[in-house]
Amino acid sequence: MSHTPIIEMRKISKRFGQVQANDTVDFTLQRGEIHAIVGENGAGKSTLMKILYGLYQPDSGEIYIDGKSVKITSPRRAMRLGLGMIQQHFTLIPTFTAIQNIILAKEPRKFATLVDYQSAETKIKKLADQLGFDVPLNTPIESLPIGSHQHTEILKVLYHGAEILIMDEPTAVLVPQEIDGLFDCLRGLKKDGNSIIIITHKLDEVMAIADSVTVMRQGKAVATCAISDTAPHQLAEQMLGEAVSHSPIERKEIEQENPILHLADVTIKTHTGKVLLDCINLDVFPGEIVGIAGVEGNGQTELIEVVTGLRKVQDGIITLNGDSMVNATPAKFREKGIVHLPADRHRHGISLDSRIDENLIVGQHKRKVFCKNGILNPENIRRFSMNALDKYQIQVGDISHPLKTLSGGNQQKVVVARELSGGQTVIIAAHPTRGLDIHAADFVHSRLLQARNRGKSVVLVSSELDELLKLSDRIAVMYNGKIADVVKTDETDRQALGKLMLGISDLDG
């Protein structure tokens, strides 16, 4: 006897201008399974899921839920059908508290008009406990870390009654411990009878969590199979349509005399006296990549903020090529050659409503090639943009369209292409390959190594130890606002780093 699938999408097609985002895609989700969707940036994964969630209407094709033909005309309709989606870029309202976000559009009432927060809170607390989440429900979203944003999103869809969860790259923004937590949560949800679709670029995650997988390439679903019938290298080949080869990048030895970036006793405190950075001492020399490891929330974000001018320090010395930069503005840092690949690109890196080519040059528009005597040079901007699109394989229909028409990964490539194009001396890269497919991540790695080999300095903050170990010459491990230790990469390994990250010294065993 065959079971009726909970979701069946048949021959779904969707075109945006010249881009065929989905091309007669068949997709089936069985009840109670975790189904992964993989594919390169721009392959059409998010589009397919937005169609399922009623955010886009397909040009053609049909959707069946539990064997019944349905028209999903809006997210509201999707929710009524038991669907919940956690999008690639979170959609919470920053100034609302977690609980206000969760109950939005489904506020429990008492006395007909008053919102009954009490009963909502009790219900949500119970859900959160079941899932092992610890979200401060009455804090505005904007002052919560990104892991809590995701917990809030999950609580929100469950509170609204979802039984089919769609998660678009939920792990891209999480650190390893949080990913383990998320996967435990997904296994629990599955055990309770929910069905889950998860998009990810990390094939080890697919192997770890999914029951089956669908591979997309250039708008088509090119393969679907059970996890037990596949392997990471096979999935990678199906994604790219060719065998994958890695060319290792040589590491040139660079003479090191004076540090480019020098931090001594840098300290920041909040107005309540909490110490966020505690006497940070760090030198970054020309021609080296210094990795910053640490469990999220141990000072990495603040460290990046002080070396890019986004946050003031209360004490200490910061110099760049010998010049004091204490409490200089972001513009000053930029002028002195510091570029910043921000972790939260939607907040700091890009303007979704501006044109793609404008996003590619913003912050650099004063460079002579782009602008002479205050007048922009459209021809040079165009040439630069086309070159960047080509080098980074950024798939666009038209560079005059707004950035938001690009896939998530392609938006990130725009930021990376822009920041790595100028004559920078120090690159501050926070999670530079988040959301990028295997190809693109490799390309960014090679760009960072090339910059290093040309004598530039790179500060690389990453939650992925493999990335840190692959790229860094030295790794500084942060714990509790301090640098616990700085180790040479060839003298350490995952385990040693893991211990330092958790604040366990060798004396503790």
Ligand X SMILES: Nc1ncnc2c1ncn2[C@@H]1O[C@H](COP(=O)(O)OP(=O)(O)OP(=O)(O)O)[C@@H](O)[C@H]1O
Residues that bind Mg ion (CB under 5 A): 46, 88, 407-408
Q: Does 43 bind ligand X (CB under 6 A)?
A: yes
# residues near ligand X by CB under 6 A: 20
Token digits for 481?
A: 């606002």
Strand 109-110 to 114-115 pairing: antiparallel
Backbone phi and psi for residue 484, each to the nearest 5 degrees, phi listed first: -70, -35
Report, in Å, the least distance between residue 206 CB and ligand X.
14
Read off φ and ψ for residue 220, nearest 5 degrees: -110, 150
410 touches ligand X (CB under 6 A): yes
Least Å distance, CB 359 to Mg ion, is 17
42 is an interface residue for ligand X by CB under 6 A = yes
Considering only CA atoms, which of 290, 340, 197 is closest in space to residue 478?
A: 290
d(CA 50, CA 114): 34
Binds ligand X (CB under 6 A): choice among 44, 54, 287, 481: 44
CB atoms under 10 Å from CB of 452, counted, come to: 24
Considering only residues 93-132, where is the footprint of ligand X by CB under 6 A? none
How far is CA 48 from its chain centroid?
Answer: 20
Of the ranges 34-42, 226-234, 312-320, 362-370, which one interacts with ligand X (CB under 6 A)? 34-42
Spell out the residues 6+ positions from residue 43 whose beta carbon is closer than 8 angstroms to its own: 216, 217, 218, 219, 239, 407
Rule CB under 6 A: say whether 301 interacts with ligand X.
Answer: no
Our finding on whether 434 is near ligand X (CB under 6 A) is no
> In whole angstroms, what separates CA 87 from the centre of its chain?
12
**What is the maximum span of the chain, computed from C-alpha positions, in angstroms?**
75
What is the nearest approach in angstroms of ligand X to the Cβ of residue 189? 23
Nearest distance from C-beta of residue 174 to ligand X, angstroms: 16
How far is 356 from 21, CA to CA, in rounded Å? Answer: 18
In terms of CB distance, is 45 or 452 closer to ligand X?
45
The verdict on 54 binding ligand X (CB under 6 A) reads no
Report the candidate in 218, 215, 279 with the shortest Cα–Cα distance to residue 482: 279
| Smallest distance from ligand X to CB 437, Å | 6
Which listed residue (7, 21, 120, 484) binds ligand X by CB under 6 A? 21
Tell me which amino acid residue 350 is.
Answer: I
State yes or no: residue 147 binds ligand X (CB under 6 A).
no
Which of ligand X, Mg ion, none does residue 410 bind to, with CB < 5 to 8 Å depending on kind? ligand X
Binding-site string for ligand X from residue 379 to residue 408, where x marks contact by CB under 6 A and - marks none? ----------------x-x-------xxxx
CB 51 within 8 A of CB 75: no
Q: Which is nearer to ligand X, 12 or 268 (CB)?
A: 12
Q: Is 349 in the site for ligand X (CB under 6 A)?
A: no
Extract the tokens encoding 169. Answer: 């790259």
Applying CB under 6 A, the span of 15-23, 335-343, 357-365, 468-476 interacting with ligand X comes to 15-23
Subset of 76-95 contacting ligand X (CB under 6 A): 88
What's the CA gap between 376 and 365, in Å, rounded? 8
Residues binding ligand X (CB under 6 A)? 16, 19, 21, 39, 41-47, 88, 395, 397, 405-410
